[in-house]
Amino acid sequence: MATLTESVEQIVNSRQGMPSQLIEVLQDVQQAQGYICEAAMATASARLGVPLIEVYRVASFYKAFCLAPRGRHVITVCMGTACHVRGAPRMFDEVLGQLGVRAGETTDDGAFTVERVNCLGACALGPIAVLDGVYHAHMTPGKLRKLIQSVRGQDGEVDTDD
Amino acid sequence: MIRVTEQESLVELRKRLAAERNAYRKQVIVSSGTCGEACGSLVVINAFRRELAELGLADKVLLRATGCHGFCEQEPLAIIHPGNIFYCHVSPDDVCEIVSRTVARGEVIERLLYTDPVSGQKVTTEAEIPFYAAQDRVLLGQNQRLDPTSIDDYIADGGYSALAKVLAQMGPEEVIDEIKASGLRGRGGGGFPTGRKWASCRAARGDLKYVICNADEGDPGAYMDRSLLEGNPHLVLEGMIIGAYAIGAKEGYIYVRNEYPLALKHARHAVQQARACGFLGKNILGTGFCFDVEIARGAGAFVCGESTALMNSLEGKVGEPRPKDVHTVEEGLWGRPSNLNNVETWANVPGIINKGASWFASIGTESSKGTKIFSLTGQVRNTGLVEVPMGTSLRTIVFDIGGGAAGGGTVKAVQTGGPSGGCLPQSKFDLQVDFETLEQAGSMVGSGGMAVVMDEETCMVDMAKYFLDFLQDESCGKCVPCRVGVDRMLEIVTDITEGRGRPEHLDLLEDLSETVAETSLCALGKTAPNPLASTLRYFRNEYEAHIHERRCPAGVCRALIRYAIDAEKCNGCGVCRKACPHGAVTGEKKQPHSIDPDLCTKCGICRDSCKFEAVRVF
């Protein structure tokens, strides 16, 4: 497996000295590593010819970028207007309470990160929660609670198998 | 893939491709946009593929996965030809029966048909469904005739003929005149006349010019651009190529919202196919015209839907808007003349060229021409994408097409224009939807021109807070009125929803709204007070109930409500007690239960779980 630095090098390689490619590079790093670490920002800065402070500014400006590692499971709650009027805020607060985190944070055991997204554009299905890329339609606080419990249960079983 | 190098070969190619498709007497069409996929369309398609192969029908039946058909509520949808039979909520378990009965023998399966909620009757075809009947699906209608990953499907349906016509018969100025004559106005929210924008960009000095497609549809609750780009990417691309020819641009960009992976995938695929076929690149259709398109991913910033912020983002920078004293048609991307239009605007171009400006101008109102796609969402029965002529009334959209409130309740308001628009009450539902009328009423058609329907369980103060919270989060922070003003408005509205409202707050909010609207740098800030101002204007009584009575009439604002169990309705089944994650519900079996307000977090799980409507909000 490529080390962290190698994979970032590969991503930047074809875009040497092209400052306009900064966002694309950060997108690829985010996809490859799940977040953007300081070392990746330094590499992008050096190879693209963008000052590090500008790289940080861009990385922290856009919501797509995460500057800390995320949990093994990512729960994204859609907070679009349609989901909002159908009760998404109740669901979001409940999941934060259940996992003891604030929006965007990861649980201490590294199992779950809870995020909000402004709209997934699948409004007929709202309220929507996305767990590890899978859309769960017509969610309620109760259903999401059970979903998280079932993921916890499955993870537990995997651990015992190991 | 065949490279089309001249006009005649495109005509030949179309004839051949269309004939190949028409040779199939039987067709199975499954809608598979983002909503369709989320509802399991991919599994349904695979089941069809397997079943058709097993019965030896794979060569005889055309199976096509298309983009969104707009009726999201009924996904996954399947249409069977001949007969145009419309099946909804299709599951993989239904596939075997559909193939053996409907495809093989032409029988209609009653169970899978749509039920008209008013008459209770089953209807067989799309045209009989009220949701579709009142629409004019000029743009969206093509979605179900093609697989978005197939340029052949697009060509067979007449695709790229407008481009061929333009290159063979029209000079750039003629194209601009045609667009001007059509009356097409920008679908991104501004409503600026498209032909005039093109003409300014063409007239601007500079050898290198750009055309840009804004597919950064960030308005929550809007997804028509997503549906167009993921369901019919070549239509958008053809519009852009025609625009580039008219303006004299050699390079183009499609800036796609990060949260739309399928649209991104299909747009990328379409660009590659168009390049391979010779519709992009050097010497397009043998005419010497050169133009190419790159796809750029957004990175999750609402402000990047603003044209100058989008251009900064394309340059790899932070998406902050630029002052507007110099127009982007003169100095845009990398300081060069740039023409930016929204997805839906570009998608309208090939139709105008093919059918003529007068056809387009015959649809709509005096000042707003053509059709407009709205996403109809929220507490409405028929959620989906709706395409209607400009000038259609809100009432037609919400009731005739949308079927009214989801739960059969009363529709209290419709929100149009997203965070830049406003909430309009029932008394305004007869207004016709066009650029000017909605603006005069304190809302706007907006980028998406969406209509989010709200019923009596929607709190209008909470709605204002929702949009302010969104805008405060998405404000780029560059100019003070937007950064600080929106923040203050949010603070005050939060105070009101949490029981700390004071009578003088309402005047202060009005004052702030005016200041922020007048002094912000870009459209995000200028329109940011709209949701607040429109709810203050039309639903002031709800604000007053929060302030004077410390009461939320809709039962939404959690600081002002409490959950309680109606002892007369509660039969002590214990479901809510078991469901409550906080141990707040207590009670003996078969005895009325009660809720401990100190433990209750007002999550509503007890209310969701009660089958007897015994849990009430006060």
Residue A3: predicted pLDDT: 62
Instruction: Determine contact, residues B183/B360, Cβ cutoff 8 Å.
Output: yes
Q: Token pair for residue B234?
A: 């070549």
- Contact of B149 with chain A, judged by CB distance below 8 Å, is answered with no
Q: Which residues is B27 bridged to in the sheet?
A: B62, B81
Place of tokens 């133009």: B291
- Contact of B317 with chain A, judged by CB distance below 8 Å, is answered with yes
Residue B12 lies in a domain: no
Nearest residue to A94 via CA among A73, A77, A71: A77
Show which of B427, B455, B483 is a domain's final residue. Answer: B455
DSSP state at residue B102: I
Residue B448: predicted pLDDT: 60
Residue B449: predicted pLDDT: 56
DSSP state at residue B432: B
Residue B440: predicted pLDDT: 87
Whether the predicted pLDDT of A157 surpasses 70 = no
Separation of alpha carbons B284 and A151, rounded Å: 53
Interchain contact, B297 vs A23, CB within 8 Å:
yes
Residues B304, B211 within the same domain: yes
Interchain contact, A124 vs B72, CB within 8 Å:
yes
Residue A159: predicted pLDDT: 42
What confidence tier does A1 reach under pLDDT thresholds 50, 70, 90?
Answer: very low
Residue B56 lies in a domain: yes
Residue A160: predicted pLDDT: 38
- Of A13-27, A66-80, A147-161, B185-199, the range with the lowest mean pLDDT is A147-161
Chain B, 37-56: which have a CB under 8 Å from a chain A CB?
Answer: 38-39
Residue A120: predicted pLDDT: 82
Q: Is A61 left (phi over 0), alpha (psi -120 to 50) or beta?
A: alpha
Residue B140 lies in a domain: no
Residues B102, B167 within the same domain: no
Instruction: Give the H or E element holding residue B593.
Output: none
Q: What is the CATH number of the domain that holds B58?
A: 3.40.30.10
* Domains in chain A: boundaries: 4-61, 73-161
In 3-state terms, what secondary structure has residue A38? helix
- Write the single-letter amino acid at A8: V
pLDDT in tens, B407-461: 778 899 999 888 888 999 999 999 999 888 888 888 888 766 566 777 888 999 9
Instruction: Write the CA distances from A101 to A63, B74, B603, integer angstroms.
Output: 19, 36, 16
Contacts A–B by Cβ distance under 8 A: 150
Whether the predicted pLDDT of A73 surpasses 50 = yes
Could you give phi then psi for residue B376, rounded to 5 degrees? Answer: -100, 110
Instruction: Report the domain count for chain B.
Output: 5
Instruction: Give the H or E element holding residue B387.
Output: strand B384-389
DSSP state at residue B297: E
Mutate which: B377, B386, B475, vs A, most A CBs within 10 A: B377
Count of CB atoms situated within 10 Å of the CB of B5: 15
Which residue numbers in chain B have pLDDT < 50? none
ipTM summary value? 0.88
Q: Which structural domain range is residue B40 located in? A: 17-132
- The highest-level CATH class for domain A73-161 is alpha beta
Distance between B599 CA and the closest CA of chain A, angstroms: 13
Residues B85, B212 within the same domain: no
Nearest to B604 among A21, A128, A141 (CB): A141
B327-358 b/e with 16+ CB inside 10 Å = b?
bbbbbbbeebbbbbbbbbbbbbbbbbbeeebe
Pairing state between β B289-297 and B251-256: parallel
Instruction: Give the H or E element holding residue B585.
Output: strand B585-586
pLDDT in tens, A114-156: 999 888 878 888 899 999 988 898 999 999 999 999 999 888 7
Residues B418, B435 within the same domain: yes
Could you give phi then psi for residue A23, rounded to 5 degrees? Answer: -65, -40
pTM, entire model:
0.92
Residue B539 lies in a domain: yes
Separation of alpha carbons A123 and B66, rounded Å: 19
Nearest to A81 among B259, B302, B415 (CB): B415
Pairing state between β B371-378 and B451-455: parallel
Residue B360: predicted pLDDT: 98
Task: Please give the share of chain A, as a percent, with pLDDT higher than 70.
Answer: 93
Residue B1 lies in a domain: no
Separation of alpha carbons A4 and A39, rounded Å: 9
Nearest to B608 among A54, A65, A140 (CB): A140
Chain B, 539-598: which have a CB under 8 Å from a chain A CB?
Answer: 579, 581
Residues B249, B190 within the same domain: yes
- Contact of B412 with chain A, judged by CB distance below 8 Å, is answered with no
Listed in sequence order, the residues at least 6 apart from A3 whose beta carbon sits closer than 8 Å to its beta carbon are: none
Q: Token pair for residue B194?
A: 């498209």
Residues B472, B422 within the same domain: no
Listed in sequence order, the residues at least 6 apart from B328 whose beta carbon sits closer than 8 Å to its beta carbon are: B307, B308, B311, B338, B339, B340
Instruction: Determine contact, residues B293/B271, Cβ cutoff 8 Å.
Output: yes
